[in-house]
Structure 1
């Protein structure tokens, strides 16, 4: 049984009951989802598509985001060092008492640096810095060079925190290697068990926390913000001169969630109020107003429930865009009310639904076409928006076709009162339409089209583009400033651009990472990266360890008696010298491995450098990350070229990859746009014949052209989101010419009422989508500006699609 057959046979009571049941299920599901862990997706990276050709690179991006996402960093600063330290301790204690964090570290726990030396001492004959290797390999006077190195080691009073025992490391090669470990590459010093940075007369103390859950959960965000506010208030009460800067994904996620909720409320309330006023002004009926919003509410509830069921999470972008869907979803009920108000008292509700069904069906098809193209784009957020919108307008359409006839079984009441006022308004609208249609339509539509093209052509030539990733993500400037303050004080590594090194085994990965490090060190001048961080700085490859062992065997332990004499001459006891020489001879310790290093507690801050086993092209592989400390426009080409020249090495720049993808799909969108226009034209020709189909499609085609020309004249760069919004201009803007043509051809239709309904539909859509222009998110702002201008032009040019000569029964009020 088809839905329409069921509609004809079902009673109004049964239809209302069925819709009530569906609405109840949708609402209860939404309440269930929002009553538990928040379904809102506040992870901005989740909005982005997979941009790397290598899936291992995508995993590296995710692993870095996860490694840093559960940490928050606070920087407590004051011009008085004692105040800064005391304030940091109070701040950390307050955070710990709040229970909002899994851990809070202000005072560092006791740590025996000897643990690091203890790990590496058994492997000391395979560990040597590059400088020591080069000095040993190129020494021309072997014994004398060894003697000088030994004397410098014995009589050097300056020893670092990772000093080794003379008996285990007579020449200091292990100590040199330990000193090169990237354990203290930040700008912080250990002072009074606190990590302190001194900048001018300002002293800053670091407080590090880990979250009690995901940074993207609303519960965690609220707890962290509350605890931070309380800690800051406590700190300022005792030390007014102290300031706190913060950095962490949780703050950006909370800021994005709060901004989106604010925009949802603003756009939703403003749109609803504006639409209500417009509908009351035109229809003068609270009943029709409530029924129109009922249909829209059903669409929104259905869209929410289906989207969350399909995707699991609801992106902030979808939520904000969904608030603007009110204006489009209410269009179907507006067109139904126009037919209803022009009907006699004894009208047949089912006949009324059938009379408006062709226009609404064609409008629905064009709208679905526009959103279907959004669903094809590779952006998770756009796919979700498309699902939300397609579900919402389908439910709204179905409710207008079945529920509204059941709610309005009888025609409008008597001929006087508000209805006569509407008739006068409809008559004035018919006169206005007649004059406007004669000006741009009738027998001159092609002349008007040519004039518009001539005026727009220079604007098209002025078009430029901008594919920056920041079109999608707008971060809170205050948080960015605080994060930069933390980075400047601490010296945090660059985490946005890095190399991924891949190989068939851990050993091949380590060897390639070492080769990459050598190439990075060799970059000259402006191409230099000022150092890098890699797993190989903690765990050399087995080949490197074997090479060091061979180097020692050739240049140091090749003459054991001479080496022993050198040691004795500098004051070593004979048993100590003999024990060290014998330990090399009988050294059977296997090489140091990544697994052995990862088993130590102090390796955790650097564990993200090792990706471990990964799946690559269906085969098991291993991968690691190499992070350059400085990436600039001047050295970026050299870094990319270095990666291309090495097997198993890829340079990852997520922002640049997304921007590149934006550009590629912006160019592809021209084909999508042409294909969508062709499909709309075919649909219109199938409905209205060749001449009528072309005339009905012409307004939306010209609307797209005028919109693009306006961007060119205004020197506004075009981006992917402008192009995708043009798809919706096709889907939504084509509806107005369809509504007009269907109403004009409908027997006995009041053309003034039809034109009023078209203008009202356009006004509600413009009001909703136009509100996107106030969004803080540039992508939505681009959507809003493009849709507003495109739809405005489409509705103004819609009369071009009307027939020049009409049947008499279709010219009421004309």
Structure 2
């Protein structure tokens, strides 16, 4: 007994030492951001995304509506400042804008103003109306600088078009569908919060919001931002890891005790699973610096695979221990089980290795974890379990049940041909009646609450960004980009005058456009349009040298933060972005084809397309896994048996996918990931059946394996994360199909005596 305990102690001491050392050396980070799993977009789109949108990951948005919204807004703003979370949505004052744009006033003309100065009478009427509105901040701020009021028109028009908010008593407000909202935009104090800090900060903010909601019961407070998605997804992942892992382990221990009726058997099964988890963790820490929590949720599934080795190993060792003393003199595994364990590990590892080159980080992390974990479990099973052989006994009740199941399988195996034909016909009919459909919606990655998703939609709507399009414009320099933007806006407006946009060329027209504006203004001046203006003010319109505003000029003004938020210029390249609404995607895409360097940025659509590609990658992996299995089976058992096993595998996959499609309504990337795992487990069953045949002890081990796998993965089908639900449902249904169909593939080996 001491020797056995000592061996186990040495084994786990080595694993713990290795795991601790690697963890200390690599110092991995853990992420709960669902979209961090995805690769970057097209290189230029990714560059623009990094320049302009990555900072949004650190922004939080709050809205207040109701009778006491202003009080709630002010109290919450004060509380945020106490937490070092300050408002980040600032716009230059009208006086600051006047100072910035005054030197270029005659080259900056709004479209309505240009229409007015085209006719002298129309302009004079307009001018008198404006002078009677000296209370207007635009007129009062610019009249002393520009008697023509062209600057007032430029600033007022651009503010009304560029800003969806107004400022009331130092609060950003927005009128939408008859409701007035007070808004707060803030940036987190730490750009990269750890998962625990994100959960803690989100909880503090929600607690303060709940306190204000009680203090102001007639006020509705909404919040959104990546912080809250990260916190909710992380909490959900942690909860599911502990719940699913705990319940799965307890259920598996009950199964093991029912079969072997000894505490030592429970410990051995637990040690096998623990070896797998530690081995997988060691490999993953070595390969990846950042580990996603969703990977750890999927890692729970390793329990259902690794424990198969313990079941087969303990059942085979217990068989020898239950025999006579003379028969038991031969210690260790039987030749068949040794061969089956090795072949099972090789085929499963080869199947999962297809995921190592997957462009989706999650798939590669799962592959590394599972392959390394199974190798560790296989080593423990082969090297450590035999030392415990004398402690293992198989219960009589479990043997009797396995014998009953054996008789059923033997009968089905005799009529395999009509069963295969009937099942093929049924499946073909079902596929005709309800074909398999796929849905690659990115929401399958998100487990955020409906409340948070609704708040996100509300805030995007208030920002005029819901259902709007984002376009990146790339050129050789600032002027090149501005000219492209001007042409695009002109083309779109000509075909659809109701479009709305926030193009930076509203504030920074190209030099070409400014020259045209100046020519229009000078022509109006020459035609006497401004005679009344000069007469009423007693001042002459200035006629100094023409000045044109440039990107560099705005960089040295108070407008700089807003300029950099929408435009970036380098020595060899310039890039800007704009939102466009009130236009359909097809029309916009057609307009973008007219010029190079115009890229439509549709993140949801692009990610969905990527998920579709990854699904195709998994489908190819399934085909490769099947081909590899057929080659190995042909080498080990012969072509006839290998072909029959491949047919069983094909029927399992098709029936599994059809059932999941019928339940879910469509299939996703994660159904295909589950299908790959089912194929890996099915290969294990096929190997053990073919090597050890339909013997009661072998069927007992496989039945335990199937029951444990269906339980573990059935737990995942209770997940609130759609991706995990799809994965768990697929594997649970697939294992049931494997358990029923794999015995039909058993034949006397063509390479046996």
Q: TM-score, normalised by structure 1?
A: 0.83
In 2: Cα distance, 1:370 partner to 1:460 partner? 26
Q: 1:473 to 1:643 in 2, by over 3 A?
A: farther
Is contact 1:211–1:220 with CA below 8 Å preserved after alignment?
no
Matches within 5 A, 1:672-683: 672-683=621-632
Q: Which runs of 5+ in 1 are unaligned?
A: 1-9, 615-619, 746-750
1:274 paired residue number: 251
User: How big is the shift at 1:130?
Assistant: 2.8
| Candidates 379, 383, 394, aligned match of 1:402 | 383
CA change 1:708–1:42 in 2 (3 A) is closer
State how 1:686-701 maps to structure 2 within 5 Å.
Answer: 686-701=635-650
Q: Match of 1:800? A: 744
Counterpart in 2 of 1:508?
480
SS in 1 for 2:142: coil
- 1:233-269: per-residue Cα shift (whole Å, max 9, x none)? 5434543433321121111111111111111112111
**Map 1:104-253 → 2, pairs under 5 A:** 104=87, 112-133=93-114, 136=117, 139=118, 151=128, 153-157=130-134, 159-161=136-138, 163-182=140-159, 188-197=165-174, 204-214=181-191, 217-236=194-213, 238-253=215-230
The residue that corresponds to 1:6 in the other structure is: none
Maintained 8 Å contact 2:611/2:669: yes
Q: Does 1:49 align with 2:35?
A: no
Structure 1: how far apart are the matches of 2:537 and 2:565? 43
Instruction: Give RMSD over aligned pairs.
Output: 3.4
Cross-structure match for 2:264: 287
Deviations 1:576-633 (A, max 9, x none): 41xx4332xx23x4x323343244455435633224449xxxxx532211111456xx
Distance 1:272 1:532, change over 3 A: same
Contact 1:128 1:548 in 2 (8 A): yes
Q: Which residue does the alignment assign to 1:763?
A: 707
| Structure 1 residues 703-760: Cα deviation after superposition (integer angstroms, max 9, x where no partner) | 1122234346658323333233222221111211211222239xxxxx2111110111
- Which shifted more, 182-191 or 509-518? 182-191
Deviation at 1:64, TM superposition (A): 4.7
Quote the Cα distance in structure 2 between the aligned partners of 1:165 and 1:693: 86
Q: Which residue of 2 aligns with 1:476?
A: 449
Tell me if the contact between 1:74 and 1:208 (Cα under 8 Å) persists in the aligned partners. yes
Contact 1:48 1:379 in 2 (8 A): yes
Alignment of 1:486-565 (within 5 A): 486-487=459-460, 490-494=462-466, 497-524=469-496, 528-529=498-499, 531-553=500-522, 555-556=523-524
Structure 2 partner of 1:74: 62
- Residue 146 of structure 1, CA deviation: 6.2
Match of 2:80 in 1: 95
Residue in structure 2 matching 1:393, options 350, 356, 374:
374
State the 1:62 CA deviation: 4.0
**What pairs with 1:782-801 in structure 2 (closer than 5 Å)?**
782-801=726-745
**Alpha-carbon contact 1:699-1:734 (below 8 Å) kept:** no
Name 1:432's counterpart in structure 2: 405
Contact in 2 for aligned 1:697/1:734 (Cα 8 Å): no
- The equivalent residue for 1:23 is 16
Mapped contact 2:276–2:302 kept (Cα < 8 A):
no
Q: What is the aligned partner in structure 1 of residue 315 from structure 2?
A: 338
Q: CA deviation at 1:766?
A: 1.5
User: What is the distance in 1 between the residues matched to 2:356 and 2:272?
Assistant: 24
What is the match of residue 588 of structure 2?
Answer: 639
Distance of aligned partners of 1:65 and 1:157 in 2 relative to their CA distance in 1, 3 Å threshold = closer
CA positional deviation for 1:495: 8.3
Question: Structure 1's 476 and 596: CA in aligned 2 closer, same or farther, altered over 3 A?
Answer: farther
User: Which digits, 9 at most, give the CA deviation of each residue in 1:751-792, with x for residues without a partner?
Assistant: 211111011111111112222211222122111111111111
- The count of corresponding residues between Structure 1 and Structure 2 is 745
For the 8 Å contact 1:162–1:179, the answer to whether it is kept is no
Q: Deviations over 1:463-485 (max 9, x none)?
A: 13323222233431011223344
Alignment partners' CA distance in 2, 1:571 and 1:532: 37
8 Å CA contact retained: 1:75, 1:206: yes
1:382-437 CA-partner distances (Å, limit 9, x unpaired):
222222222222222222223334x53xx325xxxx83x62453254134313322
1:155, 1:93 → 2: CA distance? 40
- Correspondence 1:300 to 2:273: no
Q: Please give the alpha-carbon distance, in whole angstroms, between the structure 1 residues aligned to 2:65 and 2:212.
A: 11
Q: Distance in 2 between matches of 1:109 and 1:723?
A: 47
Partner deviation per Cα, 1:284-303 (whole Å, 9 max, x = no partner): 22212212222211221232
Q: Deviation of residue 147 (structure 1)?
A: 5.4
Structure 2 portions without partners, runs of 5+: none
Deviations 1:499-555 (A, max 9, x none): 111112222111111212222323438xx54x11122122222222233234334x1
- Preserved contact between residue 496 and residue 654 of structure 1 (Cα < 8 Å): no
Q: Which stretch of the first structure deviates more once superposed, 681-690 or 368-377?
A: 368-377
- Higher mean alpha-carbon deviation, 119-128 vs 667-676, is at 667-676
Q: Relative to structure 1, is the Cα distance of residues 645 and 199 closer, same or farther in structure 2, using a 3 angstrom cutoff? A: closer
